Amino acid sequence: MKIVILRLGHRIQRDQRITTHVGLSARALGAEGMLLDSDDSGIEKSLSEASEHWGGTFYVKRITNWKNEIKKWKEAGGKVMHLTMYGINLPDVINEINPEKDIMIVVGAGKVPPEIYGLADWNVAVGNQPHSEVAALSILLDRLQTASGEDPLKRKFQGGEIEIIPKVAGKEVRNK
């Protein structure tokens, strides 16, 4: 299952930090990359620095026509899931998801264009309570992958400069 994030409605300045958290979490939890519907180059920079240091091939691609990206994705056989607190609760929909299909996860900031509800194959809530798109995305990525027998927390990142040696207390980082 290839996973790509589509970040919609990102506002330069206001959303920089949250979108960076969305990107870093997506990378750490096994997504391949993030399409960013914004001209904000800062996110791309933070995420390439993360991959440079810590490995892997996660990418951020700035896009200008998100509808076209969804269209191309679907034409290539991929599925689209839109995260929204108003959708069907994840536990009630996760069994419908075919782990063989590639999936695009749409993560909105602030208001999203209403058309997205019709374009998505699923509108999914990670619990129907207000919380955080970072939390929703992370739990979704965790549950999707553990359901297919992979633990995203055990993922190895090829390349990069440094890695953590897990410790009972304190910090240890070694050069790769």
Assign 3-state DSSP to the chain and report helix, strand, coil percentages, each to 5: 40, 25, 40
Residue number, 72 or 155, with CB nearest to its own copies: 155
139 binds its own copies (CB under 8 A): yes
36 binds its own copies (CB under 8 A): no
Contact call for residues 26 and 7 (beta carbons, < 8 A)? no
Alpha-carbon separation of residue 136 from 36, 43, 85, 127, 166 (angstroms): 18, 20, 9, 8, 26
Distance CA 125, CA 92 (A): 10
74 binds its own copies (CB under 8 A): no
Q: Which residue has the tokens 């996973």?
A: 3
Q: Which of residues 75-94 bind its own copies (CB under 8 A)?
A: 84-92
Q: Which stretch binds its own copies (CB under 8 A): 3-11, 36-44, 100-108, 151-159?
A: 151-159
Paired with 3 in beta bridges are 103
Beta carbon of residue 118, minimum distance to its own copies (angstroms, whole number): 6
Q: Which stretch binds its own copies (CB under 8 A): 5-13, 62-70, 98-106, 115-123?
A: 115-123
28-42 burial, b for 16+ CB within 10 Å, e for fewer?
bbbbbbbbbbbebee
135 binds its own copies (CB under 8 A): yes
Q: Which two tokens stand for residue 65?
A: 């026509």
Distance CA 139, CA 173 (A): 27
175 binds its own copies (CB under 8 A): no
Q: Which stretch binds its own copies (CB under 8 A): 59-67, 68-76, 99-107, 134-142?
A: 134-142
- Residues of this chain that bind its own copies (CB under 8 A): 17-18, 21-22, 24-25, 27-29, 50, 54, 84-92, 117-118, 120, 123, 125-132, 134-135, 137-139, 142-143, 151-155, 157, 163-164, 166-173
